[in-house]
């Protein structure tokens, strides 16, 4: 049973409850896989002793019949989540040596359910990136490979995507500010869901853009996403944006019956220069949902073309504000000072040494758009565009649309290094299909749907009504069943 690390959450849950395997054995299988996969760069802080201690506690709960769905399930945790007593750096030099004295609400919810933390996962620095190449640890690598090209696993949750796709863990946490769960999920052939803004607490998650950030699961199947998301969600008084509504049984919603559901196909997502493979996959997904009994409706989201520029004003502005707290005074890295240096020099040197080039770029953009004379011209205008984008979605859902189908990404995974030296705008364009969901605060899910001509995975995105993750997951489940995607990367690491 050395392949236990390849199981889904649902399979492992059933086998644990049936006493066919122990949580310790399951964790040992994952830990062995992690040790053999250093070339992927997915795990950056391994916690084997903690994992085995938690596994023993899980086995005791299972023996006593106290076994929530996630009890005994080994997970990877994105380095953006604060984990008590375990390094939490957000993949940045400026948080070197930081070990929180507290646990994020989401990871605490998972711990309380009996889930096991195998370690912390690689990511783009402060979640700013689409390729996992801005990490202080070095980039994570996509387990899918073409010839000798090493490919990006996507970003910012690249380590999470790589670890799940390579079966190093049964699932992982991710965060999504502009597509950072859905894009890497599409690049690696796994499932990733960003829930409605406010559904998962942001407390204890290192902030990038506070009005956009949202945690979610990255899993091997839609069913696993439903199981894990239910545990991650909760109302949290410590997060002023947390919404106090009941968390339903998402797994129970997975009937696969979508007869009569109205699926919107937005014309604005048919962009000039879209690769024919992406268009073909989208058309195939549309046909699959129609064959499953859904009604396909052409819709318009007229302000979509303004989403990317609005996002790249709002997100850097919020990042500039959030990252002002990293000054070398209270925690994290402090630069060495020369004789005569004062507090201003300490701030300047610490931030120059501690932040990487992409983070510095976004801080400067954000500071610029918030500065006197430019606030109205950029930031307030972007906020007004955001309101119009949200209204587009509100109008479509008010007209009876249940979910919207789009591509997840404009291409399959690209090679590491292929975009980092180019115009940064080319990298930002990877978020073209995903940022609208964050700007509108909606739930969105990426489902693996096929392979491109090179044999790399491609994903389709479904966008749902706010706080209707159950319906969205059920539609995704129907799409997953129709696509029948079962391909896995050939092990080379």
Query: What is d(CA 226, CA 469) in angstroms, rounded to the nearest whole number?
Result: 9
Is 221 annotated as catalytic? no
Query: What is d(CA 171, CA 7) in angstroms, rounded to the nearest whole number?
Result: 10
Joined tokens for residue 166: 């390579």
- Contact, 335 vs 350, CB < 8 A? yes
The set of residues, in sequence order, having a beta carbon less than 8 Å from that of 273 and lying 6+ positions away, is none
Give me the long-range contacts of 271-274 (CB less than 8 A, separation at least 24).
Answer: 271/410, 271/432, 274/407, 274/410
Query: What is d(CA 111, CA 93) in angstroms, rounded to the nearest whole number?
Result: 27
Is 180 annotated as catalytic? yes
Query: What is d(CA 77, CA 98) in angstroms, rounded to the nearest whole number?
Result: 16
Query: What is d(CA 149, CA 236) in angstroms, rounded to the nearest whole number?
Result: 44
Handedness of CA 63, 15, 165, 203 (dihedral sign): negative
Residue 398 burial (10 A CB sphere; 0-12, 13-18, 19+): exposed
- Contact, 88 vs 82, CB < 8 A? yes
The set of residues, in sequence order, having a beta carbon less than 8 Å from that of 99 and lying 6+ positions away, is 85, 86, 87, 88
Query: What is d(CA 382, CA 228) in angstroms, rounded to the nearest whole number?
Result: 34
Is 78 annotated as catalytic? yes
Three-class secondary structure of residue 157 per DSSP? coil
Overall residue count recorded for the chain in this entry: 493
Q: What residues form DSSP beta bridges with 76?
A: 119, 172
DSSP state of 86: B
Q: Which of 180, 201, 234, 242 is catalytic?
A: 180
- Contact, 69 vs 104, CB < 8 A? no
Q: Which of 156, 160, 201, 320 is catalytic?
A: 156
Q: Which of 78, 120, 261, 262 is catalytic?
A: 78
DSSP state of 213: -
**What are the residue numbers of the active site?**
78, 156, 180
């Amino acid at each position: 049973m050395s392949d236990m690390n390849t199981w889904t959450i649902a399979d492992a849950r059933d086998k644990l409850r049936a006493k066919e395997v122990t949580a310790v054995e399951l964790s040992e299988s994952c830990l062995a896989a992690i040790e053999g996969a250093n070339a992927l760069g997915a795990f950056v802080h391994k916690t084997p002793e903690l994992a085995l201690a938690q596994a023993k506690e899980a086995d005791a709960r299972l023996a006593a019949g106290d076994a929530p769905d996630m009890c005994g399930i080994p997970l990877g945790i994105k380095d953006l989540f604060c984990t008590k007593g375990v390094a939490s750096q957000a993949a940045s030099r400026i948080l070197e040596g930081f070990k929180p004295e507290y646990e994020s609400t989401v990871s605490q919810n998972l711990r309380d359910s009996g889930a096991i933390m195998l370690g912390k996962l690689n990511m783009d620095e402060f979640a700013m990136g689409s390729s996992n190449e801005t990490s202080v640890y070095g980039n994570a690598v996509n387990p899918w490979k073409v010839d000798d090209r090493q490919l990006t696993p996507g970003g910012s949750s690249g380590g999470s995507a790589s670890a799940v796709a390579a079966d190093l863990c049964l699932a992982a946490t991710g965060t999504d500010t502009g597509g950072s769960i859905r894009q890497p999920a599409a690049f690696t052939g796994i499932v990733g869901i960003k829930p409605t803004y406010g559904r998962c607490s942001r407390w204890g998650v290192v902030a990038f853009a506070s009005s956009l950030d949202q945690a979610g699961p990255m899993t091997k199947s839609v069913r696993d996403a439903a199981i894990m998301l239910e545990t991650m969600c909760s109302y949290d008084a410590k997060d002023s944006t947390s919404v106090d509504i009941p968390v339903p049984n998402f797994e129970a919603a997975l009937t696969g019956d979508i007869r009569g559901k109205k699926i919107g196909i937005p014309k604005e997502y048919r962009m000039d220069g879209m690769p024919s493979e992406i268009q073909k996959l989208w058309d195939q997904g549309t046909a699959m949902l129609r064959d499953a009994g859904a009604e396909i409706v052409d819709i318009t989201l007229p302000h979509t073309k303004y989403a990317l520029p609005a996002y790249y004003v709002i997100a850097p502005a919020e990042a500039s504000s959030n990252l002002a707290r990293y000054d070398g005074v209270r925690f994290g890295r402090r630069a060495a000072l020369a004789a005569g240096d004062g507090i201003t020099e300490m701030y300047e040197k610490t931030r120059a040494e501690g932040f990487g080039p992409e983070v510095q770029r976004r801080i400067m953009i954000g500071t610029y758009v918030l500065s006197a004379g430019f606030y109205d011209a950029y930031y307030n205008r972007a906020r007004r565009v955001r309101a119009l984008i949200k209204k587009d979605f509100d109008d479509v859902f008010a007209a009876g649309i249940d979910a919207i189908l789009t591509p997840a990404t404009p291409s399959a995974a690209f090679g590491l290094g292929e975009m980092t030296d180019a115009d940064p705008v080319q990298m930002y364009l990877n978020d073209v299909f995903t940022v609208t969901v964050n700007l509108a605060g909606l739930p969105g899910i990426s489902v693996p749907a096929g392979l491109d001509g090179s044999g790399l995975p491609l994903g389709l995105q479904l966008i749902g009504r706010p706080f209707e993750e159950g319906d969205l997951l059920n539609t995704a489940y129907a799409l997953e069943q129709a696509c029948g995607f079962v391909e896995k990367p050939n092990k080379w690491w």
